[in-house]
Amino acid sequence: MRGKVLGGNKVILLLSGGVDSICAWRLLGLPQAVNFDLGTVPTQKEHGSLSWASDHFGKTYIQRDLNMANHEKKNGYVDFRNALLILAAAQIDSNVALAAVAEWAPDKNTRFYRRLERAVNRSGVSASFNCKLRVHAPFAAESKGELLARYKAKFGSEETRLVLENTWSCYRHEDQHCGECGGCRQRYAAERQMHKLTGMRPVTQFSGVPGEWVTPALDRARWLFDNGWLGYRQMRAHRLQDAALTL
């Protein structure tokens, strides 16, 4: 993650159809972007989100297939997903940007990104010695709620409301956010943190109210080990967002 993310067509942004990636796409100036159809539970809803964003922003994106439906866990997680997505996107542009915010996952931290860069950039891995993989995560120190607050500050309440109304985060359902899965819990807390930071009321309707969750001590230790000072900033951002669950 060396240097800053370049604007225009200098990077390829991974678009998932979730609120993070839609906000990041606009905040970064609508660079070229790619969505991989994973065939997983949220896919159809995400396609709708991306179609809306493309029409609303007046910007097209690249659509590719990368089916991972048979590898999806009950919690919506797919092992090695980020590595596969980054490498697939690098076939289009070796400067790959992610909309990842502050959260711990084995394949979503600075050490992972740097190790992947080193492995790919070793002599002989790429057919072109001028093709060097660079992975950028410009919002990695912010929580999802802080990203929403940033978006609201730049584009206003109405634009933020439209993004929230036209994006999807639930891993389980396709008709209403369940309020129980990890995606719903993050979104629930994020919208309430956004409300605390900006005064804008939450938009998404949930069929249930997510309970509190404490990141296990081992995961917190790994978080700090994998990210160093950034990990501390991420944990602080995450903790402030979680505090919004009780609002």
- First-to-final CA distance of the chain: 35
C-alpha to C-alpha distances, 246 to 189, 190, 214, nearest whole angstrom? 9, 12, 13
Question: How far is Cα 22 from Cα 56, in angstroms, rounded to an integer?
Answer: 11
CB atoms within 10 A of CB 132: 14
Question: How far is Cα 161 from Cα 166, in angstroms, rounded to an integer?
Answer: 9
Question: How far is Cα 237 from Cα 139, in angstroms, rounded to an integer?
Answer: 11
pLDDT tens-digit profile of 172-210? Answer: 766 788 877 778 888 888 888 898 889 999 898 887 776
Q: What are phi and psi of 35, to 5 degrees?
A: -115, 130
Question: How far is Cα 210 from Cα 170, in angstroms, rounded to an integer?
Answer: 12
Residue ranges of domains in the chain, CATH in brackets: 12-136 (3.40.50.620), 144-246 (no CATH)
Q: Please, which pLDDT band fits residue 232 given cuts at 50, 70 and 90?
A: low
pTM of the model: 0.82
